[in-house]
Amino acid sequence: MLAAYLQYWRINVLTMLEYRANFIMWFAFSIVYHGVAIGALFVTMRAFPSMNGWSFREMFFLYALWMTGHELHNTLFFNVVSVPEYVREGRFDRFLVRPLDTLFQVLTVPSQTMPDSLILAIVTLCVATGVAGVHVDAPYVLAVIAVVAGGALIDLGISLVVATISFWFVRVDTLRWVVMSLEQDFTRYPISIYTRGVRVVLAFIFPFAFMNYFPATYFLGKTETGLHLDPAVGLLTPLIGLAWFAVSYAFWRVGLRRYQGTGS
């Protein structure tokens, strides 16, 4: 399985070398995508310097933390997003008759994925850590890596749920797009700006708040979590990520058992 996985990355690199212009264009897109988000935040917070006690520098850190987890997900697990397409075209059936785990096969369809955006995210996170004045020591580095990994798992859980839904409802493109953009929009701000019900949803149902808000609260030494929780809950992100992934994986297995194909 490891050999197959290494082969997958070898093919990705070769594809990248073959389509260099395309690679550069998509990298430019990543820069613009995040640049626009951070730019909008900067302009907004120049006019309104405080958002529930968060300054631009802290908001930048909040964004960078989400961005890194999200890009780690995009680098390792992005193919999950293509499952509805495979299902629609009947290509998904192929994975079912091969001897390796279905999810593993989905994750290793050659896809022109490169870790360029992840590197961009890590650089951004380093800059943001400096800008926000977070105290950096060995425990911080370990904690931040764990949080980012947990964040990627939370993201994977969501993609997997959307992918599984496509076993029943074939067309889920809009849903997928909406979930992705709402995730980006709602994780951009401290959850304390939302009403109580939405905070609870973001913390405990779709636990996006664990991708960046709770950990950022902890790292920045803030005391208010918006839900009367100890800021140290931010360190639970890896566990939440694992739990959320386990649940979504179970759902995926149920979906697989019910899967009937589209006849195409």
Partner 1 sequence: MEVATEVGSLVLRVYLLRSLWTALYTQNLAPLNLPLHSMITYATVALLMSLILEVDGTRLIREKLREGTIATDLMKPISVPFYFFSDGIGQTGLHAVLVIPSLLFSLLLVRIDVPRPEVIGAFLLSFALGYCVNFFLNFLMNSIAFWTLETFAIQLIVRWVSDLLSGQVIPLTLFPGLLGRLVFALPFAAIYSTPLLIYVGVIAPAQWAGAFAMQIVWLTLFAGLSTLVWRAGSRRVVIQGG
Where on the chain is the footprint of partner 1 (CB under 8 A)? 21-22, 25-26, 28-29, 32-33, 36, 39-40, 43-44, 46-53, 169, 171, 174-175, 178, 181-182, 185-186, 189, 193-195, 198
C-beta closer to partner 1: residue 7 or 52: 52
C-beta closer to partner 1: residue 36 or 145: 36
C-beta closer to partner 1: residue 5 or 42: 42
Rounded CA gap, 212 and 147, in Å? 8
Give min distance, CB of 123 to partner 1, in A.
Answer: 20
Tokens of 261: 């194909």
Give min distance, CB of 184 to partner 1, in A.
Answer: 11
C-beta closer to partner 1: residue 1 or 48: 48
C-beta closer to partner 1: residue 142 or 178: 178
Rounded CA gap, 68 and 66, in Å? 6
C-beta closer to partner 1: residue 186 or 249: 186
Give min distance, CB of 54 to partner 1, in A.
Answer: 10
Given a contact cutoff of 8 angstroms between Cβ atoms, the answer to whether 226 and 197 are in contact is no
Give min distance, CB of 111 to partner 1, in A.
Answer: 15
Given a contact cutoff of 8 angstroms between Cβ atoms, the answer to whether 199 and 226 are in contact is yes
Listed residue (132, 148, 142) closest to 212, CA to CA: 148
Give min distance, CB of 197 to partner 1, in A.
Answer: 10
Q: What is the residue-wise DSSP string for 19-85?
A: THHHHHHHHHHHHHHHHHHHHHHHHHHHHS--BTTB-HHHHHHHHHHHHHHHHHHHHHHGGGGGHHH
Give min distance, CB of 113 to partner 1, in A.
Answer: 14
* Torsions phi, psi for 229 (to 5 deg): -110, 160
The 3-state DSSP class for residue 228 equals coil
C-beta closer to partner 1: residue 195 or 223: 195
Rounded CA gap, 216 and 182, in Å? 20
Return the DSSP state at 188.
Answer: S
Give min distance, CB of 43 to partner 1, in A.
Answer: 5
Give min distance, CB of 199 to partner 1, in A.
Answer: 10
Rounded CA gap, 30 and 33, in Å? 5
Return the DSSP state at 205.
Answer: I
C-beta closer to partner 1: residue 51 or 121: 51
Give the angle 236-193-219 at the CA atoms, nearest 5°: 35
